[in-house]
Amino acid sequence: MSRKRQKVDPLAAMAASNPVSVVALAAEIGEPEMVAAQARALELGRIPSQPIPPGDRFAVEPARSRGVTFGLTFGFAAVFVFTALLLGSSLGGSGAGHPEFAAAAIRVAEANPRLLLTDPDWKIVRADEFEPDEGELVFSNGENHFDMHWYPASLYGVYLHDRAEVSTSERGELLGQSATTVEYSPEEYATMLAPQGNVFIELRGRLGSRSAYEEILHSLQPVDVGTWLGAMPAATVRPQDRSPEVDRMLRGIPLPPGFDPAVLQSESSISDRSSLAVKVGNAVACGWVSSWIAARRSGDEPGAERAIEAIAGAPDWPIVLETKSPWFSNYATVVRQLRAGRLDRGPAGYEVREDGRTFGVGPAWKLALGCGGTWHREVDGLPEGGP
């Protein structure tokens, strides 16, 4: 794989947050990959001068574009902070049904190796937007975090190859499964379990030492569906609560003409409340930019000004005040563009493949707001001086 680290720095575009999932950040990069990159940003305290660490490229590359290197060049901090609410959730349970969870959540549970940490000090503090073949849980004991990701089994080989760049891989066994461990530092390790069914699990923790990491690994135990679902944190928005929660989050926010919350309301996955708030805010902001574009085309200057002022008021939106997510600071960048009468429709970053081909990803304004309709185009090369 190409290692043009000096020219690409996607984590620099995200500058730190709690692990999440949520906004599509590029046309060719999926949400789960971006989430993993954001998690690394949090753990490593990334700043713009630092490159992507080896072994994390699949946190920012899509499976269908394996063997490429991707860099974002946003002039803003594309960050996502999620408050982990450590609200007690029992690891015990009889395995009985959980009617508070919709069928979609039960399908996720049934499709995955359901592992929990049996150490009573550790609880799930984050469960966000997961599907049967992809997702993430974050455990915490109040001081440290331990991440559990599951990915499609078809990606196991490429993840193994990628993580091998971190350190010499150590083979072993965990819970009766083949396990591969790599060392990011003497304080941080990651372990991949061989595929089970349609998924494989990757475990990761920065716990201070190898012995502390091993202790947590050996605290993992498989549990039944009821116990697993019952361990989800109180901060989780369950599928049947999503519609009223979206309605609550929209209160106090000026909505663009024709705004329809149905898509936000109808998704059936489990979501972290802060993640959902950012998704709601992005949908509103994107709608206002579309309104601005339409107003400018029709010569409706008052309409264009209303759109600008609506987004400019985002710092006072209830969901922004509630979550305090730095992601919302991206909106100010787009507001400046709107006031100047010109959206940045150019690329926000570049993908360099092993064969030398370079692709731009944009438009920058849509990536800043997490809007749909982004593009991925081949370009002649990187700009002078690199991205």
Q: For residue 202, what is the domain's CATH number?
A: 3.40.1000
Residues 348/74, Cβ–Cβ less than 8 Å: yes
Residues 189 and 252 in one domain: no
pTM for this model (two decimals): 0.60
Residues 335 and 351 in one domain: no
The Cα–Cα gap between 355 and 22 comes to 31
What is the length of the chain? 387
pLDDT at 106: 79
Residues 214 and 258 in one domain: no
How far, in Å, are 1, 16, 185, 206 from residue 33 at the CA level? 18, 15, 22, 19
- Report yes or no on 269 lying in a domain: yes
Burial state string for 262-300 with b = 16 or more CB within 10 A and e = fewer than 16:
eebeebbbbbbbbbbbbbbbbbbbbbbbbbbebbbeeee
pLDDT at 246: 95
Interval 300-345: pLDDT, tens:
999 999 999 999 999 999 999 999 888 999 999 999 999 999 999 9
Residues 21/275, Cβ–Cβ less than 8 Å: yes
Residues 291/303, Cβ–Cβ less than 8 Å: yes
Q: Which domain holds residue 126?
A: 103-230
Structure tokens at 64: 């269908």
The total of structural domains in the chain comes to 3
pLDDT at 238: 73
Cis peptide before 99 (omega within 30 of 0): no
Sequential pLDDT tens for the chain (387 residues): 333 322 222 322 332 222 332 333 333 334 344 434 433 333 332 222 223 344 454 433 333 333 333 344 333 223 222 222 222 222 233 333 444 556 767 777 888 888 999 888 999 988 876 778 888 899 999 999 999 999 999 999 989 988 998 999 999 999 999 999 999 999 999 999 999 989 999 999 999 999 999 999 999 999 998 888 888 887 678 777 889 999 999 999 999 999 999 989 987 666 778 888 999 999 999 999 999 999 999 999 999 999 999 999 999 999 999 998 889 999 999 999 999 999 999 998 887 777 788 888 899 999 999 999 999 889 888 887 655
- Report yes or no on 145 lying in a domain: yes
The Cα–Cα gap between 91 and 263 comes to 33
pLDDT at 86: 20
Residues 45 and 161 in one domain: no
Residues 223 and 272 in one domain: no
Residues 257 and 218 in one domain: no
Burial class of residue 64, CB neighbours in 10 A (0-12, 13-18, 19+): exposed
pLDDT at 129: 63
- Report yes or no on 384 lying in a domain: no
Residues 356 and 331 in one domain: no
Residues 49/81, Cβ–Cβ less than 8 Å: no
pLDDT at 21: 29
pLDDT at 192: 96
When the pLDDT of each residue in the chain is averaged and rounded to a whole number, the result is: 75
Residues 286 and 362 in one domain: no
- Report yes or no on 350 lying in a domain: yes
